[in-house]
Chains A and B, each alone.
Chain A
Amino acid sequence: MKKPLNFAVLKYMTTVEIACVDDVMEALKDEYADWKMFKPAGILEVLMTGEKNGLLVEDHYAYNDKGELMIYYRAHEEGREIINSYIK
């Protein structure tokens, strides 16, 4: 049984140094591409919610190749511990 999409996004953040929506979409597309919720806006909302609640912190922001804004997030040590303790 696959992890819920939100879990997969947060869990992915504990495996990388920093990541933006494009990175998350690229990393999870094989498993979740056919999910209705697997859209950039939905993934961004998960990341922004994680940041709002202290699980992630913003690192920097820049435009991607398509000229879209990408905010890069980082899971700090405490955030990683919390995510890993709740999501196995």
Chain B
Amino acid sequence: METLKADVANGELKRVYRKQKGSFLRKGLIFAFASGISYGLFSAFLTVGEASGVWNDFWALPIAGTIIGYLLLCAIGSSLNDLISGIWCLVIAAMKGKMRDFLPALKSKPGLMIVVGGLCGGPIASTCYIVGLMMAGGIAAAVTALCTAVGAILSRILFKQKLNARMILGIFICFFAAVVLGGTTLGDVDAKSTIGMCIAFIAAIAWGVEGCIAGYGTIMVDYEIAITIRQLTSGFANLIVLVPVLCIIANATVNMSGVEGSTYLFFVGGALFSTALIWFVISAFFANPAYSLWYKGNSMCGTALGMVCNSMYAFWCPFFMMVLCGWIFGWEGYTLTPVQWLMALVEVFGIWVIAMNPLDVFRKKEA
């Protein structure tokens, strides 16, 4: 009788234990999925912001037709987005009583790793991503989803993580999808879209590096503090280093007609005091969970599963751009062809194969 009671008690204990573990994993999965949706929303609002108010005047200037001018405008858009996102992060962290962690975390080794990750993912990746978006549209987001593949390879090199035949197969599926995506865009539009996708691939590499370095730091630093560090680092690095350097290069190399006074003040000041800023405030609001929930999801349900869920942004970006830019604003060029949609799906499938064995899903259900 005593043994029976003990068995029942043990069974109940096991059930509570499994429930707690399951709830932790579910929470992680929800965070990771929500990060992908936020990513799509932030991309869509950013695209609207960079096509509203004073930005229309910027794009009409001769400088906007040059690569350096394009980069400059996109870097300004990126820095505004990240900096405002950093301010959102500070407000949210303060409301949650986490601000006491900010400076000590920033001065620590994991904090420094997040700063380095922010520099990689911010000035480099965000600028390339935005250039890709402007040149190739939402399909650029599908190309940047290759960051999971890059992350798997880098993890193998830096952290000696496994890279087996299944993962290599997934990488090939991703490359195949990316190649077909390039071909489709080339055939349907022009070479500009293909260049945009190549630039988006640089973003994929930089985000792969960021995922490795900053992701590890976030195991120890609270995710909302981590993202505050990341966004402020990225925003300031863009605004204080990248944008001035691009202004100097632009002044020396391209036709600056229409730009009055200081190039920096003309563009940055113009963007700050434009009605378009409201769109950046909204895009920055969604950029916060796009990154913070990515880190959090990865740390809670494992990098592989977290990244797979997050990489669904390859769907969410074109989806929300189609909804916001195409359906709501009625802008042309925001509808993807069936082949492009199909390849985006193939790419996501490839990423899924890299990150986990699809059969594991069924095995877990059986267990």
- A residues within 8 Å of B by Cβ? 1-7, 10, 35-37, 45, 48-50, 52-53, 55, 61-63, 69, 71, 83, 85-88
Residue B16 is within 8 A (CB to CB) of chain A in the complex: yes
**Which chain A residue has the least Cβ–Cβ distance from B225?**
A4
Verify A49–B221 contact, CB threshold 8 A.
no
Alpha-carbon gap, A7 to B103, bound state (A): 13
Verify B100–A2 contact, CB threshold 8 A.
yes
- B residues within 8 Å of A by Cβ? 13, 16-17, 20, 24, 96-98, 100-101, 103-105, 108-110, 219-222, 225, 299-302
Alpha-carbon gap, A49 to B306, bound state (A): 13
**Which chain B residue has the least Cβ–Cβ distance from A53?**
B219
In the complex, what residues of B have CB within 8 A of residue A85's CB? 109
A63 to chain B, nearest CB (A): 7
Verify A7–B220 contact, CB threshold 8 A.
yes
- Tell me which of A52, A61, A86 contacts B220 (CB under 8 A): A86
- Tell me which of B17, B24, B103, B219 contacts A61 (CB under 8 A): B17
Verify B96–A49 contact, CB threshold 8 A.
no
- Tell me which of B17, B104, B300 contacts A52 (CB under 8 A): B300
Alpha-carbon gap, A7 to B108, bound state (A): 10
**Which chain B residue has the least Cβ–Cβ distance from A83?**
B220
Q: Is the interface of B mostly helix, strand, loop or mixed?
A: helix
In the complex, what residues of B have CB within 8 A of residue A88's CB? 108-109
In the complex, what residues of B have CB within 8 A of residue A6's CB? 101, 220-222
- Tell me which of B98, B104, B222 contacts A2 (CB under 8 A): B104
User: Can you list 6 residue pairs at the A/B interface with Cβ under 8 Å?
Assistant: A3-B104, A6-B222, A37-B222, A48-B300, A69-B13, A87-B109
In the complex, what residues of A have CB within 8 A of residue B20's CB? 69, 71
In the complex, what residues of A have CB within 8 A of residue B301's CB? 52
In the complex, what residues of A have CB within 8 A of residue B300's CB? 45, 48-49, 52
In the complex, what residues of A have CB within 8 A of residue B109's CB? 85-88
Alpha-carbon gap, A87 to B177, bound state (A): 42
Alpha-carbon gap, A49 to B221, bound state (A): 11
Given contacts A37-B98, A55-B219, A87-B220, contact A1 B13 (CB under 8 A): no
In the complex, what residues of B have CB within 8 A of residue A87's CB? 108-110, 220
